[in-house]
């Protein structure tokens, strides 16, 4: 079975002008949403003068590997780790991931490289895993159609706590 990535160039059907317009609208609205979130976080962080969790929270240094059971930290713990862009060491924590906070999951695989479709290049990452059964629902508020790809979320290991088997 050939890789889908090598077959993608064989797709010849062009988008309709309406679909192109919808995609441009989605790109603009996503950028605007990210900027609003950044400004909100910047203002809240300046008013509250919060300290980042990395200095105050005791992060476990227990290694997280494939097959381990982990608990996703609470919303409060994760929010305190994130910067104004809602990222932790470059890893974005999106709104839909909050649904999985405080849940227990199995690590499927550690991610070292991934293909970024927006940049069209292979990217390197570290301390990132995917969890079993934790996938994107495909809900899109900005686009009329839902996505059916069912992509895994990328989880930074700092957002997870290893569950010991006693």
Per-residue pLDDT tens over the stretch 132-141: 999 888 776 6
Backbone CA torsion sign across 132, 33, 8, 5: negative
pTM over 0.75: no
Nearest Cα to Cα of residue 74 among 53, 90, 55, 89: 53
**Arithmetic mean of pLDDT, 119-130:** 90
Half-sphere exposure of 158 (CA within 13 A, CB side): 20
Average pLDDT of every residue of the chain: 81
Sort residue 65 into left (φ over 0), alpha (ψ -120 to 50) or beta.
Answer: beta
Give me the pLDDT at residue 101, please: 94
Q: What percent of the chain has pLDDT over 90?
A: 32
Give residue limits of the domains in the chain: 4-162
């Amino acid at each position: 079975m050939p890789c889908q990535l090598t077959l993608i160039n064989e797709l010849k059907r062009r988008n309709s002008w309406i679909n192109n317009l919808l995609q441009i609208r989605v790109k603009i609205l996503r950028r605007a949403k990210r900027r609003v979130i950044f400004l909100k976080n910047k203002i809240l962080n300046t008013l509250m003068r919060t300290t980042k969790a990395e200095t105050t929270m005791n992060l476990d240094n227990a290694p997280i590997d494939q097959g381990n059971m982990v608990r996703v930290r609470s919303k409060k713990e994760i929010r305190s780790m994130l910067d104004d862009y809602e990222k932790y060491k470059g890893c974005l924590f999106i709104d839909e991931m909050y649904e999985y906070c405080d849940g227990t999951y199995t690590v499927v695989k550690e991610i070292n490289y991934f293909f970024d479709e927006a940049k069209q290049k292979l990217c390197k990452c570290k301390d990132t895993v995917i969890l079993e059964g934790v996938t994107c629902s495909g809900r899109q508020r900005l686009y009329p159609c839902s996505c059916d790809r069912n992509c895994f979320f990328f989880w930074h290991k700092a957002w997870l706590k290893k569950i010991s088997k006693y």
